[in-house]
Structure 1
Amino acid sequence: MDGKVTQDASASRKSPERPARHAPQAALPHVSPLLPRMRDPLAAAFEPQVEQLGVPLVRDGDALRGVASNELVDAEVSVRLVGGCFAITSHRIRVKHDVRFYEQGFRGLCMSSLAADCVPLCPVVQPDRLKERGNVVTFGMEGEQTCCWLRAGTAQDATSVMMLPGWISGLGERERLEARKIMGEAGSAFEGDGTPRLDRAIRAAALAGGTGGTGEAVVRSVRRALALALAWHEARDRAEQAAGTHAQARLVREAKRLVENNLSDELTLDELAHDLLTSRSRLCAAFQQETGMGVGAFVRHARIRRARELLGIGSLSIAEIAREVGYPRASSFSVAFKREMGMGPSAWREGAL
């Protein structure tokens, strides 16, 4: 490569120790003014989001619940807050129209069980395969506001446990250190035989929180789910360390998220290596060994994958989509898309819509 990850480079200059976690799925020129009204910082996990979709929440014992059927969505939402500790949210949302959707985050750690349509909206390294439901992810969250698109026809079904750093600080030393490590790394999608067990544990925590269980019972359920998540991360790290690949695997995960978080920006390979505190040659070698492809090839695939998602949004023009995935000129985007997909973006859109 010639110093640029060709026209397909992407990643803006973020903190080298903490690459962007919640970057927009479609970078947009304005930010929603929506902010949580509740004083509890956990309100950012749900309040601005349900307001955008027109889902009023009402008190039901220790929980908040909402049901709505309007021009945007059919939705059922439940929330259990344990102040100063965590929020447990569960929602089933059928999207009727394309929605430009804003999320107001807070700093913490999230565990989620998700339907397939939700995973691409999460700040995690995207898995190669998705199940219709029961996909499990963990990721650290920051306090910034982000934006994505909810596409018409998608099922935004998710159950999540979102933990505040203060609660994590009260865990045992091993749990605390592992949880903080997860918060500082690229978000992960779980794979392997243990995934269904963690999926059930997250749902059990939501069930305990949604049926008026005592605070102690809810905390125990969250602790069980967190213990399974931490064990999975520790097992993955041990396996990589035993194989002598842990450092390069972590580097590649961080590189993937840095690229995926910033697909609308241009970045030279040298800048990407600099932001990841490594050398250009080490980054290229690690990427090839871990993925079987070069950095440039990964960026091309990631851009076209994102472009396919955005082409389903009928209100976005080809030129707008081109800019969102890092091509200043629509003609360059069309050439790259046709090379990857065998047809131009307009033809692909006609077949998809």
Structure 2
Amino acid sequence: MKKQYTYPFTAIVGQEQMKLALVLNIINPTLSGVLIRGEKGTAKSTAVRALADILPEIDVVGGIPFNLSPDEDSDVIKECFEVSGEVLSEERERLSVEKHKVRVVELPVGATEDRVVGTLDLEHALKAGEKRIEPGLLASAHRGILYVDEVNLLDDHVVDVLLDSAAMGVNTIEREGVSFAHPSRFTLVGTMNPEEGELRPQLLDRFGLCVQIDGIRDAEERVMVMERRFLFEENPEAFCRRWADESEKLVEKIDMARRLYPSVSVSRENLLAIANYCLEVGVDGHRGDIIIMKTAKTLAAYDGRTEVGRDDIDKAAMFALPHRIRRQPLQDIVMDVGSMLKNKTSNLES
């Protein structure tokens, strides 16, 4: 079978805010994902699918399709083996552990609830008196990235499932009084064209970061987009090999940032600056404050520093606040970024 090549992440022209937001979520999965808003044909899907090549490796329990960590609760691991119809040795030392790359699992807009959540084999349960599970996409996405293209077009019942799993870190499969729950902690990445409708507020708030992207307006860069795409389609293997060094450098920088992140500190003065940002622009709740703090720490780590500066906070606010600012009916998210956050920055500087 012919190998399928993915357009390299580092070969994408422009769209630096989008690429940075995605990299930050790789470094720190607790940022809770990113919503990428923009017009058609701006490399949104290309960038997300290219993530697979720069994601780190993790330890995964072998023999079952739930992407479990060897450090998960032993009862959870045992039950996941049972519902998969596999046998788990009593000796924990014999647990099969494999190295897998963090996965990017794509959730199609038209996916059914059973495809997302998973299903119970009711016939097997009635005949054998045992649970047997057909895992869904939420099992595959555990400890990985769940990617939803055109996330604003998802059916409401699928949105409800995502909200429950994102909030609890657990996916529950229920049918005819029989239920099974398994871990499902994932980074949610969504792309959308605002012209096709907005997101429900509950789902919008679940994205840690939000970026707005537009088509490139510089003629030279647009030519570069065409040239690189032509070269990739003509000879994808050679094109990917050409960008291998750049990709490797990015992987090394991300790996360094992941190791450095726990050592990054934030002064109380800067924590107060974060709180004031959120108060002045009218952010509800405390999730915005926490996400800004985490994003600022991640930015510092990515830059090789162990202390958060004011520039980190300003940049983090541009990622974390646009979709959390209170808006008037029919007011667009981008207008808020262009007005309220700029006003806030000028006030701080004065």
TM-score (structure 2 length as normaliser): 0.27
Q: Which has the higher helix share?
A: 2
TM-score (ref. length: structure 1):
0.27
